[in-house]
Structure 1
Amino acid sequence: MYRARDYVENERWLADLDAAGDRLGLESAARSRAVDLFLSTVPDEERSKQASMAAALYVGALIEGDRRSQGAVADAVGVSRLSVQQNWKDLIEEAGLRKPSW
């Protein structure tokens, strides 16, 4: 879980996450899940936050059934597809969720 302070300290990233959600046309449940995932696992290093945000969007959409491709999420966030691919499974595990079996 995260603290209210985490929300304030990461407002810029959350605005970027919301803008990427707009570009992807994500439903509010997927966006909300992505925010929770990002804030619960936000990295300390500034340079890692964009990749973490992309993974959170991908996983949030996946969990809420509003699935988008890794490439689409990467394009919306401005990272490589490889960044999403390398981070989403760790994010699921860190959040205590189970990976899909497909």
Structure 2
Amino acid sequence: MYRARDRIDNEEWVARLTRAADGLDLGSEARSNAVDLFCSNVPSEERSKPAVAAASLYAGALIAGEERPQGAVAEAMDVTRLSVQNRWKALLKESGFQPPEW
């Protein structure tokens, strides 16, 4: 869970997540999940935010049952696929979810 102030302080990142979700044709549940995950796990270092935002979008889509390829999410968020791959499972675990075991 995050404070309302966290969302306000990161409005630029919430807007980026929304634009990327538009490009990936994700529904409202996936978008909401992504924003919640990101705002609950905002890194202190600015340079880490793009990767965490992308991982949040990927994980949020998974939770909503709207899985998208890691490469497509990475492209929509302008990060490398490896950035998504390296962060999404830990992000889910830190948020209390059990990542799939594929």
**TM over 0.5, shorter chain:** yes
Q: Which residue in 1 is equivalent to 2:36?
A: 36
Unaligned ranges ≥5, structure 2? none
- Deviations 1:10-39 (CA, angstroms, capped at 9, x unpaired): 000100010000111101100000010000
Backbone CA RMSD of aligned residues: 0.6
Q: Which amino acid aligns with 1:32?
A: S
How far 1:87 moved relative to its partner?
0.5
- Deviations 1:63-94 (CA, angstroms, capped at 9, x unpaired): 10011010000000000000000010110111
Unaligned ranges ≥5, structure 1? none
Q: Which runs of 4+ in 1 moved over 3 A?
A: none
How far 1:99 moved relative to its partner?
0.9
Q: Which residue in 2 is equivalent to 1:14?
A: 14
Q: Which residue in 1 is equivalent to 2:27?
A: 27
Relative to the length of structure 1, the TM-score reads 0.98
How far 1:101 moved relative to its partner?
2.4
How far, CA to CA, are the matches of 1:25 and 1:80 in structure 2?
20
1:26 alignment partner, SS class: coil
How far, CA to CA, are the matches of 2:18 and 2:66 in structure 1?
15
How far, CA to CA, are the matches of 2:16 and 2:93 in structure 1?
24
Q: Which amino acid aligns with 1:78?
A: D
Q: Which amino acid aligns with 2:70?
A: Q
Q: Which amino acid aligns with 2:23?
A: R
Number of aligned residue pairs: 102
